[in-house]
Structure 1
Amino acid sequence: MATFRKDRSGAPRGFFACEAAGLRWLASAGGAPAVTVLEVDEDHLLLDRLDQVAPTPEAAEAFGRALAVTHDAGADAFGAPPAGWDGDGFFGPLEDPLPMPAAAEPTWGAFYARARLGPLLDLPRARHAFSPRTRAAIGDVIDRLLAGDFDDGDFDDGDLDDDEAPARLHGDLWNGNVMWTPDGATLIDPAAHGGHRETDLAFLALFGSPFLDRVLAGYQQAHPLRPGWQDRVPLHQLYPLMLHAILFDPPEHGGYHGGYAQQTDRAARAALSLR
C-alpha cells in the first residue's frame, strides 16, 4: 500500500492526533470520504496515499451531494471537537498553526463570536494586521452575533432566521483540501468541528474551486440551503480572511494595506449590511 507521511518535529502537542480524529469523524458520516489514517504519533501522521485525477462536473456534483450528507451527520454542539479528541483544535499552516478553541454553544452566533472571531481579534498579532477601522467593524459584527441577530428571527424577511442544528464540518474546506481521485473527491487536512453548513461552502468559494456551481447544485439536491445564503457568504468568510491576514499579510504599514486585511474589512462591512 502506498502511503503519505505528514510530519513536523516540534508540532504542538496533540496536533496530529486532533487531525486524525477529525478525519475519522468525517469519514464516519458516510458522506464525502476522508483520507484513511494509518498511524498517528506526536510528530507525524501516516495516511493512505491518494491518486489524483482531474475533476469533472459529474464528480463535483457528486461531491456536493456527499458533503451535504457529511454535514447532516451533525455534531454535539456548535464548536464541538470531533469524536476522539478533547480540547481545542488547530487552524492554519503546519509550520505556524493557531489554536482553534473548542466550544459547546447552543447557537451558531455565540459560537462564531466567542470561539472564532473574538479570539482572533484579541491576538496581539491582530493589532498589527488590521486598522482601527477594521477592528471596529469586526467588533460590531461580534456584537450582532452575540445579540443573536443571525439566530433568533428578529428580521422581517426571515432570511436571517436560523434554527439549524450543528453540522459536521471539515472546517478548512478550501480547494487545496479536496483531493480529486478516481473514486471522487476526498477530504484531507481538516479543522473538523461542529458548526454551520454555510461555513464550509463559503470556505470552498473563497479561493475558487473547480466546478463550484456543480458542487452547489449537488448540495442543494441533497439539502436545500436557506434563502439568502449567497448574501451571508462574507459573514462566513470573515474568520478565514482574518486568519490569513494575521498569518500572511506583510508587516509594512502595520499590515493594514495587505490584501487579506482589505478583504477582511470588506467582508466585515458586508456582514454588517445584512438586515
Structure 2
Amino acid sequence: MIADEVSRITGRGVAETRRLSGGDTAAAFAVRLDDGTEVFAKSASPSMPGAAEAEAASLRWLAEPGAVAVPEVFGDGANCLVTEHVPASSPTARAAEELGRGLARLHASGAPAFGSPPPGGPADAWIGLAPMRNEPEDDWPTFYARHRVQPYVRRAVDEGALDSESATVLDQVCEDMAELAGPAEPPSRLHGDLWSGNVHWGSERAWLIDPAAHGGHRETDLAMLHLFGCPHLERIVAAYEEVSPLADGWRDRIALHQLFPLLVHAVLFGSGYGGQAARSARRALASRSH
C-alpha cells in the first residue's frame, strides 16, 4: 500500500492519503503525514523497473540553484517516489518568463556528455511509459540518431506504427544528422520530457515535474514545449533568449528535435503519430534549403 511505502521512505506515520487525477505512468497521491506535512507520492508500475530511481536522480540533478523550480525529493523505493507537494494554480505571464530564464540557466549548467544520465541515475531510464537508454557519445548527432531515433524507428516498424517508406525517410535523417543539427554546442542539462503537461503551474512560479533528464541539446527541451503547445510559450522563449540566445535557424530544427517524442508516441499510441513523425522528418530534410 502507498501509505506503507511513504511511511518507510519518510520515517513518519501517514495520517491520510488522497488519490490525485492525471498521469499515465503511475498512480499519484497527496499524502498527509502525522506531523501535518503534505507530500506527493507516485507509485510506479512494476513493469517499469528503476523508474522511481531514475526520476529521483533526474529531479536532484535539475535542482540547480538559481535555475528552475523542481519538487524536493524526500526519497524513493523500488516502485515509489516521494517529493514535495506543490498545489496547482493558473499559468501567468510572469511565471512563464521566470521559467524561460531559469531553463536557460539550467541548460547552461551543462552535462558531462551527450547522453549522460544524471549522477546516480540508471542508464536504462524511462520517458513516460517508454524505455529510454542514456548512453554517452562525443557529439549530439551521433547520440540522437543512435540512441533516440533509430531504436524507435525499428520498434515502430515492428509494431506496425510506421510503414517502410516512412522508415526510409527517417533513416535518411539519421544519415544526414550532422548536417541537419545546426551549429555544434556543448551538452546541456535537459529535463528531457518537457511537454506542456510536465510544466506544473504553482501559485507563484512554474515547476518542472516528471523529468527524463540527460545530457543533450538545449533545442530539444524547447522543441518539446512546442509539440503540444504551452501557455505563454512565446514569453518563455523570449525570456530564455534574454539569458542565452539560441543559434540561428533553431525554429527550422524544431521538427528534427520532435522526432524522438513522436516516435515514442507512435510505439505507444499507434500509426497516427508514426505519420506525424514521417512528416516532421521530411520537414527536417527540407530545412537544409532554408
Q: Shorter-chain TM-score: what band?
A: 0.7 to 0.9
In structure 2, the partner of 1:72 is 108
For residues 264 and 126 of structure 1, do their structure 2 counterparts lie closer, same or farther at Cα, with a shift above 3 Å needed? farther
After superposition, give the CA deviation of every residue in 1:148-202 in whole Å (9 maximum; x if it has no partner).
2145xxxxxxxx2x22100000000011101111231111100000000000000
SS in 1 for 2:212: coil
Q: Is the 8 A contact 1:60 1:185 kept in 2?
A: yes
**Aligned twin of 1:107:** 139
Instruction: Say whether residues 1:133 and 2:142 are aligned partners.
Output: no
Distance 1:124 1:229, change over 3 A: closer
Residue number among 253, 261, 266 corresponding to 2:274 in the alignment: 261
- DSSP 3-state at the match of 1:230: helix
Letter in 1 for 2:107: H
Q: Tell me: CA distance 1:124–1:63, structure 2 relative to 1, closer, same or farther (3 Å).
A: closer
Deviation at residue 65 of structure 1 after TM alignment: 0.4
Equivalent residue of 1:89, what SS? strand
Deviations 1:123-154 (A, max 9, x none): 26645001111111111011112xx2145xxx
User: Cα RMSD between the aligned structures?
Assistant: 1.4
Tell me how far apart the structure 2 counterparts of residues 144 and 19 of structure 1 sit (CA, whole Å).
32
Partner of 2:220: 199
Query: Structure 1 counterpart of 2:246, which letter?
Result: L
**Residues 108-123 of structure 1 mapped to structure 2, 5 A cutoff:** 108-123=140-155
Look up the match of 2:232. 211
Amino acid at match of 1:131: D
Unpaired stretches in structure 1, ≥5 consecutive residues: 152-159, 250-254
Q: Structure 1 residues 124, 272: CA separation in 2 closer, same or farther (over 3 Å shift)?
A: closer
- TM-score normalised per structure 2: 0.83
Selected match of 2:186 from 145, 162, 165:
165
Q: Secondary structure at the match of 2:90?
A: coil
- 2:81 pairs with 1:42: no
Counterparts of 2:212 and 2:154 in 1: how far apart (Å)?
A: 21
Paired AA for residue 187 in structure 2: P
CA contact (8 A) 1:14 1:42 kept: yes
* Secondary structure of residue in 2 paired with 1:232: helix
Q: How many residues align?
A: 252
Larger relative contact order (C-alpha < 8 A, sep ≥ 6)?
A: 1
Q: Which residue of 2 aligns with 1:27?
A: 63
The 8 Å contact of residues 50 and 122 in structure 2, kept in 1 or not, is answered as no
Tell me if the contact between 2:157 and 2:167 (Cα under 8 Å) persists in the aligned partners.
no
Q: Verify: 1:58 aligned to 2:94, yes or no.
A: yes
Gap change, CA 1:132 and 1:70, over 3 Å in 2: same
Quote the Cα distance in structure 2 between the aligned partners of 1:164 and 1:29: 23
Gaps of 5+ in 2: 1-36
Residues 111, 9 of structure 1: alpha-carbon distance in 2 compared, 3 angstrom cutoff: closer
Secondary structure at 1:117's aligned position in 2?
helix
Alignment equivalent of 2:51, drawn from 15, 23, 26: 15
Does the residue aligned with 1:274 lie in a helix, a strand or coil?
helix
Take 1:2 and 1:125, find their aligned partners in 2: how far apart are those partners?
A: 45
Native 8 Å contact 2:159 2:267 kept in 1: no
The 2-side partners of 1:28 and 1:42 are apart by 25
Identify the match of residue 174 of structure 1 among 195, 201, 215.
195
Query: CA separation in 2, counterparts of 1:239 and 1:54?
Result: 29
CA displacement, residues 207-244 of structure 1 (integer Å, 9 cap, x when unaligned): 01000010001000010000111100000001101111
Partner residue, 1:143: 175
- What is the distance in 1 between the residues matched to 2:211 and 2:44? 17
Which stretch shifts more, 22-31 or 5-14?
A: 5-14
Shift of 1:37: 1.1
Change (3 A) 1:39 1:214: same
Q: Which residue does the alignment assign to 2:9? A: none
Q: What is the identity, as a one-letter code, of the residue corresponding to 1:236?
A: H
Task: Give the match's secondary structure for 1:179.
Answer: strand
Q: Equivalent residue for 2:39? A: 3
